[in-house]
Amino acid sequence: MSRAILQDYQALHPQGAPQAGWLGRLRQRGLDRFQETGYPTSRDEDWRFVDLAPLTGAEFRVGGDSPAVRPEALAPYRYPGTECMLLVFVNGQFVPGLSDLGSVPAGVTVGSLASITARQTELLGHHLGRYAPIESSGFTALNTALIADGLLLHVARDVQVPRPIHALFVTAGDPAGLATHPRNLVVLEPGARASVIESYAGLSEGAYFTNAVTEAIVGDGAVLEYLKIQRESERAFHVGTTHMRHGRDSRGTSHSVSFGAALCRNNLDVVLDGPGVEAQMLGLYMGRDRQEVDNHTSLLHAHPNCSTREVYKGILDGRAHGVFNGKIYVTPIAQKTDAKQTNRALLLSDHARIDTKPQLEIFADDVKCTHGATVGALDQQASFYLKSRGVAGPLARKILTYAFAAEVLDEIPFPAVRESLEAVVMARLNARGE
């Protein structure tokens, strides 16, 4: 392991401070694990489709003081039409001056992990690191070793949070060589309801590295709407891992939207830890030039009577490379499982490519599991419809590609967020310059 990581680790524990307390022990375990395994390589089955060398071969350091960011610079990444409780993190650190929580309802604890640790140690100690095991990958081990800040949300039993909570992680200043390891924890107690938007944005172009881990616990009968929006610099590296654990009769939808980064890897790990869960996993990713976008999802049906729907769509242009690996595991007791997985990719150029791998492992007999994958060109019937209205060529391609993406974005329940992301899709299609 590089000296740099060790120094970053030591910086979290100023001289004389012992590696004590549950957080210290957690970090230490993360560090030990990372020292053992290091980063994954393409020899690891879970990482074989992408070349991690440009990321793992470079040296990234956790930053010092975060640079000043003007609120206007955040405008493109905020969604003013949807009133949110906003937490802004610049280069990994919470910036209260840019954040706006407004009034926090009773029963809701929300804030920056770093500022809350002292008061909420019991809560954090109980959950943090429990759902994102350090064994799951070197990246998670590294994130755990360097836990410093991120979103903490706790919603008490039966409390509904009226406004979405938006945690916006921006990288600014001169970001080359910078690493951030955001760590987020979302806990919905039984019957609680909340919406969380976790978004990443590059305010400056550069080869920096974001390595985020989110743990979300959706208690019995709770409802979580979760959006992850990745708009990093197209030279950056982004590894984002979300572990979601669902209690009995809970509901949850995860929307994952990726536009940025030279190399993006999204891991979504969903565990249905009780019967009667309804969960959806929706994804849209776009890649151009030489972008690599890798989506790995894993869904564990561990109890009966759960239904899940997964739809991932990709649009790849230039020499971009996409990966979709969707694992569904149904245990022997998970009878009456209804699991539907679809992944579709559009390749807009001859040089774009996709690796797609559905992985269904089903050990119960009374289940309904389907998966479908399509890769290719635009829908012929729709193309003909447009032509029959005089619309052909690049304009028709643009409209149909946009529609392909919009079908996923349409399911985002916040109009301002949806429209803003649709505008990004449209701008990217316009930028193709046909």
**Residue 75 or residue 431: which is nearer to other proteins going by CB?**
431
Count, residues near other proteins per rule CB under 8 A: 25
Nearest-approach distance from CB 425 to other proteins, in angstroms? 8
390 binds other proteins (CB under 8 A): yes
409 binds other proteins (CB under 8 A): yes
- The residue range among 253-261, 310-318, 339-347, 392-400 that interacts with other proteins, by the rule CB under 8 A, is 392-400
Nearest-approach distance from CB 382 to other proteins, in angstroms? 5
387 binds other proteins (CB under 8 A): yes
Residue choice 14, 43, 75, 380 for contact with other proteins (CB under 8 A): 380
- The residue range among 206-214, 245-253, 278-286, 405-413 that interacts with other proteins, by the rule CB under 8 A, is 405-413
CA 258 – CA 70 distance, rounded (Å): 24
Nearest-approach distance from CB 396 to other proteins, in angstroms? 8
**Residue 108 or residue 429: which is nearer to other proteins going by CB?**
429
332 binds other proteins (CB under 8 A): no
12 binds other proteins (CB under 8 A): no
**Residue 331 or residue 342: which is nearer to other proteins going by CB?**
342
Burial letters for 24-63: b for 16+ Cβ neighbours within 10 Å, e otherwise? eebbbebbebbeebebbeeeeeebebbebeebbeeebebb
- The residue range among 93-101, 219-227, 259-267, 379-387 that interacts with other proteins, by the rule CB under 8 A, is 379-387
**Residue 35 or residue 383: which is nearer to other proteins going by CB?**
383
Cα angle vertex 162, ends 156, 164, to 5°? 95
**Residue 363 or residue 385: which is nearer to other proteins going by CB?**
385
Rule CB under 8 A: which residues touch other proteins? 379-382, 384-393, 395, 399-400, 402-403, 405-407, 409-410, 422
